[in-house]
Structure 1
Amino acid sequence: MATPISTDDTAITIAQLQKYASAFHSDSTNRMRMNAITKSGIQQVATAHDAVAKMQYMFSDEIDTGAVTNQRQSGRCWLFAGLNAIRQDIATRNHMPPFELSQSYQMFWDKFEKANYFLERILDTLDEETDSRIVQWLLQAPLQDGGQWDMFVNLVEKYGVAPQSVMAETYHSSRSSVMNALLTRKLRQQASAYRSQYLAGVPITALRAQKQTFMGEFYRLLCYFLGTPPDTFDFEYRDKDNTFHRDLGLTPQEFFAKYAGIQLKDYVSIINAPTSDKPFDKTYTVKYLGNVEGGYPVRYLNVDIDTVKRLALAQIQDGEPVWFGCDVGKMSDRETGIMDTELYDYEGILGTALTMTKGERLDYGESLMTHAMVFTGANVVDGRAHRWKVQNSWGKDVGHDGFFVMSDAWFDDYMYQVVVHQKYLSEAQRAALTQEPIVLNPWDPMGSLACMY
């Protein structure tokens, strides 16, 4: 028997629809707004040109950097941002002209390690129902391109880095969606096999033993898509004085140790998550967020936004780039590279309020970290940065020759994470980092991965 249509106030009635339509047509400005938006799009109509004029690409403090890189159609922004910071250190330390590190080398090992990490989490949760929230979360995206700062550190600490000439970009490193879909299918297939065998009584020790064979096959598949990672390579370059250098038979680990003076383990993730469940000056981690089994866990220190700004500016003024994570798609324009809360007057054009606090946006799914980039400058007035210079990884044709400019108000609303050296922290902040971290659920917004392109 069919369920009758509701007649109480839970359903929309014809009378209500007529009332809404009458109200719309009674105001002539509604038609003007509709015509403008349907013809040109809301962003074109709502652009505040006076706000655009204020966001100049001029900065009192700037760091000299190499050419802007391009992650193309892949979600490797976090790797690009990390490698951009490292290559600047290498170039400065060794009096070298700007050059590029291999992003596909890091991508290869990230995929390989994520596969192993995922299978270990499946083995951890064999006693859970397949439709449990945790198992479904694990199965949702086991091999996406995105990542976090501590995951980047794990890769460099274990595998080192290599110049891009040693392991160049491939079709699928720059266009990763089909590769990711096929490799994800392979991982889900293995997860299904593990869980079926476990239900049939096969012990976990036997299942884990199968993993070695699987990882060998997975390595082979990665080679097809990304090429083979180098065991050793020769490094040749001319420095800024035109002196030629040759270094033979380096492993990627030796290359990083010899040419980079940066100690990644000395850098820490500082976040601003003003939600009631995350008090400031506490340390947090996220369950099941990682890539390298046995590597550093993701760890954040949550502080107020003014502290985030102060720490980031201190490192910039010392001539060192700052890796950061933000919600890049909010109130920003790819063409101009402007990131400003006044860029679009959506409320004025639409005649409606769009007000939520930063904490509310996090709690209700309106915002989270989506993209990682690097701060390479700031415009400082009376000790405070009014504009921030951003090095992106979307190529030189996006923004201002590949760079973006961020307003201080945008920093307040959509900046979530910076990575700075521990030397900039107070004693109390360093002490807070030694706390046993509070463990957040895997689906917490602070567990998001930077993956926008």
Structure 2
Amino acid sequence: MQDYQPLTSQRLNDIRTSFDSNAQRRLAMNASVENGVNKVAYNYDAARFLQRRFSTQLNQGKVTNQRRSGRCWLFSSLNVARFVAKREMGIANQEFEFSQNYAMYFDKLERANYFLRDMAELIAQGKTPDSRLVQFQMESVMGDGGQWTMAMNVYKKYGAVPKDFFPETEASMNTRFLDEHLRHMLHEQVARMFQNKDNAAEVERLINEGVERAHSILTVNLGEPPVSFEWEYTDDEGNFHRDGEMTPVEFWNKYVGPAHLEDYVCLVNDPRQEHPRGEKIAIQHLGNVAGGDPTEYLNVDMSVMKDLARRILVEEGIPVWFGCDCGAFADRQKGNWSVNLFDYESVYGFGQSLNKEERVRYWDSAMNHAMAFNGVDVADDGTTTKRWRVENSWGEDVADKGYFTMDDEWFDEYVYEVAVPKSMLSAELQEGLNKPALELDAWDPMGALA
């Protein structure tokens, strides 16, 4: 045992006496135990002045609902894609969704193969089961989270299908047991791979067996994805269209391909000073499709991210995928994000003083949710952004029928990533894309998945 200074009864009594003598703290306690601290700290003015009016607002329709799953990155990327597809088909005023279940099926199948081959490489390098990297990979494998590039890897290889052709299942809406079963199976395969580390043929057999077992688990829980389907629709002008039989890749290429989403690049704001702006960063061992595009980000100032997000919404008229720390200063039920939404200092006697760089460095904040910007309010100067409209995937029972409002300062502090067309980057930033990425550890905060 370390010779730490103990918390003495005298010290505890002094703390208690100090608290009891503070009428404001006791009032906060009495109110919070009955109502919850967020209701007590709620800033009425910050909430009521965060208006739901935007100078640019896209017509998307009903929000989607990821239920009890961590598929927000797939929902949000498919929300961008469905906006494009509805526009291409001329059904902007109709409801349409892509199958998120289909995307998850192939992400998890590919991720099983990626993980097992990554572990085989670590074993070949002499890593042991108790190494930090192996332990981290084993603990984090087969979660639901992901990144924009990982989603595009799935769509480029497998395309997408309308939701009617591969609807949600019990396991897709509540992924806990599906993920547990996949994780247990992969752990077992890796254990056998370590036990046969000197037998390359047996390691390869175990990898292939693991992929087959993943296919079995996924198909039992999610159903068998369609290889092709007949597609007909009636546009907003009343014209009937019959495309005939299409594969999912053909469907994606025809109705989403014109937006060239696969060519988008991911911009991040890593505020740590040792990570230069205008250069790429990557997270070691982060990926889902073997042979797909690597998960890399271009590190930029917030002003660049914000300006491009505004321009895409206003000039291109397309939603913008982004990742953020959604739990900070958030009112989920009313649908507000504002840095002034809660006055914790008045309740506790102290506030939250870490800046964005410190929050990332000390793991106080990281990206944990992906959504799509659906609108923006821009001042009369044409460039200054005031607030943002957000298409979430938490259903219609929260916020403004599922659409949230974010103030501009919250964007600065808690948004970490946006996906933008490469063509919109400056020549200097495009040059940064041609340089090798700075590789960060697998457990780095910037590797947190939405």
TM-score bin, normalised by smaller chain? over 0.9
Return the offset for 1:39. 1.5
Contact (CA 8 Å) 1:179, 1:225: kept in 2 or not?
Answer: yes
Distance in 1 of aligned mates of 2:332 and 2:19: 33
Q: In the alignment, does 2:19 pair up with 1:24? A: yes
CA RMSD of aligned residues (A): 1.3
Q: Secondary structure at the match of 1:235?
A: strand
**Runs of 4+ displaced beyond 6 Å:** none
Return the offset for 1:385. 1.1
| 1:303 counterpart (300, 304, 309) | 300
Aligned to 1:15: 10
Q: TM-score, normalised by structure 2?
A: 0.96
Unaligned runs of 5+ in 1: none
Unaligned runs of 5+ in 2: none
Q: State the Cα deviation string for residues 76-114 of structure 1 (Å, max 9, x = none).
A: 000000101011101112212331100000010011001
Distance in 2 of aligned mates of 1:231 and 1:219: 15
Q: Secondary structure at the match of 1:249?
A: strand
Q: In the alignment, does 2:219 pair up with 1:223? A: yes
Distance in 2 of aligned mates of 1:414 and 1:405: 14
Q: State the Cα deviation string for residues 391-421 of structure 1 (Å, max 9, x = none).
A: 0000011111000000001001100000111
Q: In the alignment, does 2:62 pair up with 1:50? A: no
| 1:247 counterpart (243, 247, 251) | 243
Matching of residues 264-275 of structure 1 within 5 Å: 264-275=261-272
Aligned to 1:404: 404
Q: Secondary structure at the match of 1:443?
A: coil
Aligned to 1:332: 330
- How many residues in Structure 1 have an aligned counterpart in Structure 2? 442
Contact (CA 8 Å) 1:154, 1:296: kept in 2 or not?
Answer: yes
Distance in 1 of aligned mates of 2:209 and 2:31: 60
Aligned to 2:311: 314
Q: State the Cα deviation string for residues 119-160 of structure 1 (Å, max 9, x = none).
A: 011101111111111100110121111100100010001000
Return the offset for 1:364. 0.4
Return the offset for 1:192. 0.5
Return the offset for 1:16. 1.4
Aligned to 1:103: 100
Amino acid paired to 1:393:
S
Q: State the Cα deviation string for residues 16-67 of structure 1 (Å, max 9, x = none).
A: 1222222222222222121111121110000000001111111011111131
Q: State the Cα deviation string for residues 218-259 of structure 1 (Å, max 9, x = none).
A: 212211000001111011111111111122221100111122
Q: State the Cα deviation string for residues 322-374 of structure 1 (Å, max 9, x = none).
A: 00000001101111100000000011221113200101000101000000000
Distance in 1 of aligned mates of 2:151 and 2:390: 20
Contact (CA 8 Å) 2:189, 2:207: kept in 1 or not?
Answer: no
Q: Which moved more, 1:265-274 or 1:225-234?
A: 265-274
Amino acid paired to 1:113:
E
Fraction of identical pairs, as percent: 38
Distance in 2 of aligned mates of 1:353 and 1:342: 11
Contact (CA 8 Å) 1:117, 1:290: kept in 2 or not?
Answer: yes
Aligned to 1:385: 385
- Specify whether residues 210 and 16 from structure 1 end up closer, same or farther in structure 2 by C-alpha distance, changes over 3 A only: closer
Contact (CA 8 Å) 2:181, 2:217: kept in 1 or not?
Answer: no
Q: Secondary structure at the match of 1:223?
A: helix
Aligned to 1:259: 255
Q: TM-score, normalised by structure 1?
A: 0.95
Q: Secondary structure at the match of 1:356?
A: coil
Aligned to 1:138: 137
Aligned to 1:177: 176
